[in-house]
Amino acid sequence: MKIYLRALLPELRKTIRLALPIAIGLGGQGALFVCDTLMAGWWLGPVALAAAAFAGNLVMLPYVFGLGLAVSVPVLTAQGRGAGRPEDGAAALRHGLLIAGAWGVAIGLAIQLGVGLLDHMGQDPEILPDAKRFAVLMGWSILPGLLFQCLKNHREATGHPWISLLWLSIGIVVNIVLNWVLIQGKWGAPEMGLAGAGLATVLARVVMLVGLAWHPGGQSPEWRNGLQVFWLKASLGLGFPSALQWTFEAGVFALAPVLIGLFGKEQQAAHQVAISLASLAFMIPLGISQGASIRVGEAFGARNRGAMEKISVGALLFGTGFMLLYATTVVGLRDRIPWFFLDQAGGADILQTVHYASQYIMVAAVFALGDGLQVVASGALRGMSDVRFTSVAAFVCYWLVSMPAGLALAYWGGQEGLGIWMGMAVGIFAAAVVLNGRLAWKLRRRPFLIL
């Protein structure tokens, strides 16, 4: 055992060096959304917070699908590098940009034309005006966000993750400043309320995209080679199942605030507090997952099964350890954390929101361990191009297990919003078991040490 663990350390160090800036960057992207939530809660109150929860999570679903489409870029680039074909990266980037760009335009138009449907989803009428304006602006932020993600993925797969982090950091600063200016109407700007947070996200993502695209040192997408059927099939063959997997998982989390909103805006606002915190913590194992995906992809391209095993096990240990640390921390602070998102002056509705948020944070801490296991295993499988199984597993675990369990607990069990959160926990643990079993089978087709 000691010899085996000692053999993991060199691969784990390499994975962490690659994954650290990726994880920080993912945390930064989550911070863009958390900044909108925090500032809306501080300056506009629970109604705006509930509107951001409702609209933001619905818009997040097509954005997540686009992020799934973009995962073909790093995997194909890494596999090509492992096989001694670094030129594959240009084709992977070019087709990734074309696919993500087409999806971003389609979604922006669809949300712009269909935003009126939000009136028919059973939500508190008080939140709808803000929710619709916020949804349209966040919808148009998807296009620059996805194009930036493709460029970011490619830089990471070629061993230059810190450049992406630089421009992401600049985007976060721009977003914070513009939130302050546009939400409250500072420096002569109009006072836009929650819509100002949406516009700030659009502009911040444009800055990130332009900056990274023009930063020297990146591989050219070689536009002169145009669209090639082989690379289009390869990109969609990896990206489409990955997009389905991510959407099946994210779909449960996008539907959750809608269902919780049926129990009142206080529970909906509380959900937004808890999910913002959980999502931010999730970025670390997600970064490890993406780093493992790239490194496993290189080993897969080189047909080095031993390296694939060491990279996967080391990543699982690190991702799980981090989530365990996060869980123990937030359990002790669950009654204090919600106040960072809300007006300190209190009030009956705010006190209720804090009460519900504390309960949801506790459940999120419980399922953190399973979340770390499932996302890292998924990333390692993606590096082996095993994406069809993971998409089917996501559908079964989240829509045939998680959602029915959550609805049963919410309505028949009388747990309301807390029941929805418990159902999400059930789905996450189911995914952790299934995906880690699949990873063990793929690597050696024999029992395989995970913990």
- Give one DSSP letter per residue of 385-409, joined into a string: T--HHHHHHHHIIIIIIIHHHHHII
Model pLDDT, residue 143? 95
Model pLDDT, residue 447? 37
What average pLDDT does the chain have?
82
CB–CB of 276/422 below 8 Å? Answer: no
What would the mean pLDDT of 140-146 be, rounded to a whole number?
93
Beta carbons within 8 Å of 274's beta carbon, 6+ residues apart? 357, 360, 361, 363, 364, 421
Using the 8-state DSSP alphabet, how is residue 215 labeled?
A: S
What confidence tier does 405 reach under pLDDT thresholds 50, 70, 90? Answer: very high
- Classify 447 in phi/psi space as left (phi over 0), alpha (psi -120 to 50) or beta: beta
State the Cα torsion 352-356-357-359 to the nearest 10°: 150
What confidence tier does 144 reach under pLDDT thresholds 50, 70, 90? Answer: very high
User: Distance between CA atoms of 86 and 124, rounded to whole angstroms?
Assistant: 53
pLDDT above 50: residue 446:
no
Beta carbons within 8 Å of 18's beta carbon, 6+ residues apart? 156, 159, 161, 291, 294, 295
Concatenated DSSP letters for 169-183?
HHHHHHHHHHHHHHH
pLDDT above 60: residue 234:
yes
Give the pair of three-digit tokens for residue 129.
């005006």
Model pLDDT, residue 208? 92
Domain assignment of residue 337, yes or no: yes
Domain assignment of residue 367, yes or no: yes
Token pair 């395989």 is found at: 448
Higher pLDDT, 43 or 64: 64
What confidence tier does 86 reach under pLDDT thresholds 50, 70, 90? Answer: confident
Among 64-78, 259-273, 315-329, 402-416, the minimum mean pLDDT is found in 259-273
pLDDT above 70: residue 5:
no
Model pLDDT, residue 128? 76
Among 168-177, 231-240, 267-276, 389-398, the minimum mean pLDDT is found in 267-276
Residue percentage of the chain with pLDDT more than 90: 25
Among 105-109, 121-125, 435-439, the minimum mean pLDDT is found in 121-125
pLDDT above 70: residue 31:
no
What confidence tier does 146 reach under pLDDT thresholds 50, 70, 90? Answer: very high
What would the mean pLDDT of 186-191 be, rounded to a whole number?
76
Model pLDDT, residue 69? 92
Domain assignment of residue 388, yes or no: yes
What confidence tier does 451 reach under pLDDT thresholds 50, 70, 90? Answer: very low
Q: What digits encode the pLDDT tens for the residues 44-69?
A: 666 776 777 677 767 878 888 998 89
Domain assignment of residue 449, yes or no: no
Residue percentage of the chain with pLDDT more than 70: 86
Give the pair of three-digit tokens for residue 416.
């309301």
- Sign of the CA dihedral running 307, 308, 313, 314: positive
- In terms of average pLDDT, the best of 2-6, 209-213, 410-414 is 209-213
pLDDT above 90: residue 310:
no
pLDDT above 50: residue 450:
no
Model pLDDT, residue 233? 92
Higher pLDDT, 81 or 146: 146
pLDDT above 90: residue 107:
yes
Domain assignment of residue 450, yes or no: no
User: Distance between CA atoms of 401 and 431, rounded to whole angstroms?
Assistant: 10
> Domains in the chain: how many in total?
1
User: Distance between CA atoms of 99 and 189, rounded to whole angstroms?
Assistant: 36
pLDDT above 90: residue 101:
yes
The number of residues in the chain equals 451
pLDDT above 50: residue 1:
no
State the Cα torsion 322-327-333-336 to the nearest 10°: 100
Domain assignment of residue 381, yes or no: yes
What confidence tier does 212 reach under pLDDT thresholds 50, 70, 90? Answer: very high
Higher pLDDT, 17 or 374: 374
Q: What digits encode the pLDDT tens for the residues 312-362?
A: 888 898 888 888 888 888 777 766 666 666 655 445 566 777 778 888 888
Residue span of the structural domain in which 102 resides: 2-443
Give the pair of three-digit tokens for residue 350.
């705010």
Domain assignment of residue 401, yes or no: yes
Domain assignment of residue 451, yes or no: no
pLDDT above 50: residue 3:
no
CB–CB of 422/409 below 8 Å? Answer: yes
User: Distance between CA atoms of 388 and 251, rounded to whole angstroms?
Assistant: 18
What would the mean pLDDT of 398-407 be, rounded to a whole number?
93
